[in-house]
Amino acid sequence: MNYTTQMDAAKKGITTKEMEIVAQKEKIDVNILKNLIANGKVVIPANKNHKSLNPEGIGEGLRTKINVNLGISKDCPNIEPEIEKVKKAIELKAEAIMDLSSFGKTEEFRKKIIELSPAMIGTVPIYDAVGFYDKELKDIKAKEFLDVVEKHAKDGVDFVTIHAGLTKRTCETFKKNKRLTNIVSRGGSLLFAWMELNNSENPFYEYYDELLDICEKYDVTLSLGDACRPGSINDSTDASQIEELIILGELTKRAWEKNVQVMIEGPGHMAINEIQANMLLEKKLCHGAPFYVLGPIVTDIAPGYDHITSAIGGTIAASSGADFLCYVTPAEHLRLPTLDDMKEGIIASKIAAHAADIAKGIKYAKDWDYEMSKARQNLDWEKMFKLCIDEEKARKFRNSSIPEHNDSCTMCGKMCSMRNMNKILEGKNINLLREDN
């Protein structure tokens, strides 16, 4: 039996090879997974032209996944450092990589990482449009934006961020409800500018059916972007954000009618006490579609440490229903991330995702923690290192300060609680001042 997309296959009762791989990874019955995909609760972004892909599922009942942003820009056009980042992200087991390139050899870079990466690849095609046509933003024709989407889809991109919910109506709401930080989404601000300069409707909204045809043809998952995401805690959960979310819910249903898989993108900067309510709103208004969040960043005062502010928000968001976390690095708001910045962001995001999976009761999530605690109790340093989320850093710290006794560390020495409890419970004596008998 033929099928066009993973959703189409699921609706027809077909088990694809991608579904089998994801079901095995998640330790879930493939028929349960298939039902979740058919109902839009889970997506498997898997472009037919991405041959090196090792597929992952995103959505209800599955492990929380993370995404890594990278790409070339006018100020940093060199491809090679970004390729090194791709390789490192794959080594650190990021499930997704978004190429946010906006200048230079974008096509060459995109094709290289699609060929190289077993992780799913996402893009924001509007970033590429100005360079693709060598035109100023206002001179790009409405349907030319769709041609860029098709080019990315043909190249093998697994998901695309499209800000289709920023309609004329949404723009009017934004103008009537002033914000401290306006529209901070890069794609959203470009679209808003294009709409204002041309006095026209959002082309991705106006020609949404044609967009869906492209996504269906290549099985590209549509990641409906949050153009009105808050860029400060002052602007969160306001009229613009909620109106756009309502429209994204309407667009989700239209996509499902064409068997196009959908994710919804979310905030942004947001105070901790608003996060849970926002996760509930998304799931309600967007009919249970997987939720993909940037952070949320829970305070605006920590440039240089926003991998931490976002990990705090990401843990709360994912434990409250978010399915996919976009990493944030220490360089957020400051510069293009370095390789080290990227690593810090990935680790912080992975910690947030795992902590949330424990809270959500994801099957087998706590097993990792159990094994680590067991290794600690046994003072098995080698096993502890192997279980660390960042083995390299843990070994570096340990080796930088070697204790007198190998069964302890330089913090506690012979007063180590694990060491002494093991000895006492084994009926042995503890000598804190002299060598053990």
Q: How large is the average pLDDT for residues 59-82?
A: 95
* Residue 383 contacts residue 376 (beta carbons within 8 Å): no
pLDDT, tens only, 188-237:
999 999 999 999 999 999 999 999 999 999 999 999 999 999 999 999 99
What residue ranges define each of the domains in the chain, with the CATH number in brackets? 45-360 (3.20.20.540), 366-400 (no CATH), 405-437 (no CATH)
Query: Mean of the pLDDT values across residues 348-367?
Result: 97
* Residue 229 marked ligand-binding: yes
What is the C-alpha to C-alpha distance for residues 330 and 380, in angstroms, rounded to an integer? 32
Decide if pLDDT at 271 tops 60: yes
Mind listing the pLDDT tens digit for each residue in 25-53?
999 999 999 999 999 999 999 999 999 99
Residues 6+ positions from 149 with CB-CB distance below 8 Å: 125, 160, 162, 211, 214
According to the annotation, is 409 in a ligand binding site? yes
* Residue 69 labelled as part of a binding site: yes
Residue 1 labelled as part of a binding site: no
CA angle, 323 then 187 then 201, to 5°: 110
Alpha-carbon gap, residue 279 to 310, rounded angstroms: 15
376 annotated ligand-binding residue: no
Per-residue pLDDT of 110-163, as tens digits, reads: 999 999 999 999 999 999 998 889 899 999 999 999 999 999 999 999 999 999
Q: Is 40 labelled a binding residue?
A: no
Which of 210, 118, 119 is closest to 162 using CA atoms?
210
| 405 marked as part of a ligand binding site | no
Consult the annotation and say whether 408 binds a ligand: no
164 marked ligand binding residue: no
Q: Which among 141, 162, 142 has a CA at the least distance from the CA of 152?
A: 162
User: Was 158 annotated as part of a binding site?
Assistant: no
| Helices and strands of the chain, counted as H and E runs | 19, 10
At 265 the three-state DSSP class reads strand
Residue 413 has pLDDT above 90, yes or no: no
| Residue of 53, 60, 137, 132 whose CA lies nearest to 95 | 53
**Is 186 annotated as ligand-binding?**
yes
The reply to whether 76 sits in an annotated binding site is no
pLDDT at 405: 81
Contact at 8 Å (CB) between 346 and 94?
yes
| Average pLDDT score, the chain | 96
Nearest to 166 by CA among 130, 146, 138, 190: 190
185: annotated binding-site residue? yes
Measured on CA atoms in the order 293, 25, 60, 247, is the torsion positive or negative?
positive
Three-state DSSP state, 432: coil
SS3 category, 63: coil
How many angstroms separate the CA atoms of 381 and 372, rounded? Answer: 10
384 is in an annotated binding site: no
| pLDDT exceeds 70 at position 437 | no
Which tens digit of pLDDT belongs to each residue from 173-182? Answer: 999 999 999 9
127 labeled binding residue: yes
Peptide bond into 268 cis (omega under 30): yes
CA distance 15 to 235: 44
d(CA 343, CA 330): 10
Q: What is the pLDDT of residue 408?
A: 84
Does 305 show up as a binding residue in the annotation? Answer: no
Mean pLDDT of 73-88: 94
Q: pLDDT band at 88, cuts 50/70/90?
A: very high
Residue that has been written with the tokens 């991330």 in this structure: 337
pLDDT of residue 436: 65
* Token couple for 116: 């190289």
* Annotated binding residue 205: no
Rounded CA-CA distance 259/172 in Å is: 31
Q: What is the pTM of this model?
A: 0.95
CB-based burial, 308-332: b 16+ in 10 Å, e otherwise: bbbbbbbbbbbbbbbbbbbbbbbbb
**How does pLDDT run across 295-321, given as a tens digit for each residue?**
999 999 999 999 999 999 999 999 999
Residue 269 assigned ligand-binding role: yes
| Section 422-433 average pLDDT | 88
